[in-house]
Every structure is written in structure tokens, then in C-alpha cells.
Amino acid sequence: MLRDVTAVRYVTPLRSGGSVPAVVEADDLGTYVVKFTGSAQGRKALVAEVIVGELARALGLRFPELVLVHFDPAVAAHEPHQEVRDLHGASAGLNLGMDHLPGARDFTPEIAEVLPVDPLEAGRIVWMDALTVNVDRTVQSSNLMVWPTLGTVPPRLWLIDHGAALVFHHRWDGADPAKVYDFRHHALGHYGPDVRAADAELAPKVTEELLRGIVAEVPDAWLTDGGFATPGEEREAYVAYLHARVRASRQWLPTDFPHRDELAAENARRAARNQRGRPAWLKQVPDLHGKPAAEQDWSVHLG
């Protein structure tokens, strides 16, 4: 079961995403990245985080521990930005925390060039994303971390950020368990993910019993937006959908992944289309939002 902790020190907000999570220290001496119930993404994003994150852990994928965080806005009273304080004020009570990985780095294209990823590991991650309809792990935004990045322990991929998964729960009446989604631009597509081997290994593990135990971890208060009579009824809907989807895996299994050269050519065509019709002076403006190159020599740490 997810452990309960209480936030005792507010460290810093994280402004890399629209939900503005925060790093906090808790009364168990742990440090967590907290996603708040009052964020613009709403509580369904937290439901997706719990279900997909706990399913990933149950299937043996690397995902940081989740905890339920009791948060008093007074802990963050020194936060200087009013909009962030408003978010905290709307999030008093129970929120979701993910174990903080100190020193972890984003899995960027630069790092991807030197970090080897086994096709079966890539296949397992792609398979789980396809099962849970997580279309938000792309080349542009991988939602993958590399950790540890120093020392003798080899770096490994860690999954994070599943709030955009389970897209079907935003409109239950149109949910089709066999629906095919486009995963051609998955962050791990160019590693040749062996999704068929992953399907053979993982699909038998996704039982109704496993799913029922996972959805039981979602607090009742977060299951109020689906149009169901009770939280228990909504939990059963998640179990039924995901169990039906895993049984239909042969229909939605993603196998078409472009090579790096094809991706580069496609991105170049997209960039060229975006440039058309722009004034000449604007075409010369540098990309101020691009990520800087890695600050370390990754070849030292990645062998």
C-alpha cells in the first residue's frame, strides 16, 4: 500500500511543467516531488500517476516509490509567487509524492546518443505505455530520467510523469480497449524495441487481481469526476478497461518505429513547414527554449 507521510519542509517549486510540482521533505526523512490536487491538470492526473506508476513497478520497471503526502500550505508560506501560493492553498490535505532521485538527469537526445538501451527493456516500456495509453513519452519530451549519474553504479532509465496517461478516463463512454494509438515517435523507438517479446512476458502478469489491487491504492476523494455512482464502481471500470485492453494486445501492439535518419528528416520537414510564412526577421530569432547541451561529459559516466 502507498505510505502516508506529512510534508515538514518546502524546498523548491519545479517550473518545468504546467502543474508546478514541488520538492518537499517529509516526516519520514524522505524527499519527494509532490504533485498537487489543486493543479490545472486536476485529480484525474493523480489517478493516472498512481495506476500507471504502480503497474510499472509491479511489472518490474524502474519507477520511484509513490507516497500520499499530507500537505499544509503553511509549510510553504515563504513561497514568493502568489500563483504558486494559490495552488498550495487549493491543495491542502492529501496530495501525491514521488521519491526524489538526487542528481537524476533528463533522458535528452544528447544522452540518448551515448546511453545503451536493451531492445527488450525498450520494448517493455513501449508496451506498458501502449497498454496504459501514455502517448506523452516522445523524443521531444521523454518523461524518462537517467539515474544514478555518478559513482560506480551504472546509470539506468527511470520512468516518471504519467499524469497524461489513461486518456480514456476523460470520456468513458467512448473508451475502446482495442483502439490503436500512434507510438511512432516514442522516446525509445529508435532502439528497436522488442514489443512482441515484452507482450509475451508482461501480458500474462496483468491480471484482474493485480489491477484490482493497484486501483485500490487510489484515494476515494480522487475518484469523483467520472460520472460513476461510487468510487468502487469507478475502480471496477478501470480494472475492466485495462484487463480488456491487455487481452486485445495483438490488435494495438506498436511495431512501426522510424529509424533515427527518418526521424531527423521528418523533423526537418516539420521545421521547414513551420518557417513558411514567417517574416524574415523572425526566422533569424534563435530558439531560446531549446535545452542546452549536457553539462557533463556523459561518456565518462556511461562507459
- pLDDT reading at 276 higher than 90: no
Tell me whether residue 197 is exposed, middle or buried, using C-beta atoms within 10 angstroms of its C-beta: 0 to 12, 13 to 18, 19 or more.
Answer: middle
C-alpha–C-alpha distance, residues 303 and 298, integer Å: 8
- pLDDT reading at 299 higher than 50: no
C-alpha–C-alpha distance, residues 262 and 111, integer Å: 19
Tell me the three cell numbers of residue 122.
525498450
Sheet containing 105-106: which strands, arranged edge to edge? 105-106, 144-147, 156-159
Residue 178: inside a domain, yes or no? no
Percent helix, percent strand, percent coil in the chain, to nearest 5: 40, 15, 45
Residue 47: inside a domain, yes or no? yes
Residue 69: inside a domain, yes or no? yes
Which domain, by its residues, includes 21? 3-99
Longest CA–CA separation in the chain, Å? 60
Residue 12: inside a domain, yes or no? yes
CB atoms within 10 A of CB 5: 21
Residue 274: inside a domain, yes or no? no
pLDDT score of 19:
87
Greater model confidence, 258 or 187: 187
pLDDT score of 277:
67
**What digits encode the pLDDT tens for the residues 205-244?**
999 999 999 999 999 999 977 789 999 999 999 999 999 9
Residue 45: inside a domain, yes or no? yes
pLDDT score of 283:
53
Omega of the bond leading into 279 within 30 degrees of 0 (cis) = no
Q: Mean pLDDT throughout 40-61? A: 97
Into how many domains does the chain fold?
Answer: 1
pLDDT score of 291:
41
CB atoms within 10 A of CB 176: 12
**What digits encode the pLDDT tens for the residues 83-140?**
999 999 999 999 999 999 999 999 998 898 888 999 999 999 999 999 999 999 998 8
The closest of 61, 201, 190 to 119, measured between CA atoms, is: 190
* Three-state DSSP state, 138: strand
Pair type for strands 3-13 and 66-71? parallel
Greater model confidence, 140 or 64: 64
Residue 277: inside a domain, yes or no? no
Residue 40: inside a domain, yes or no? yes
**What digits encode the pLDDT tens for the residues 247-256?**
999 999 999 9
Residue at 12: amino acid letter: T
> pLDDT averaged over the chain?
90
CB atoms within 10 A of CB 124: 24
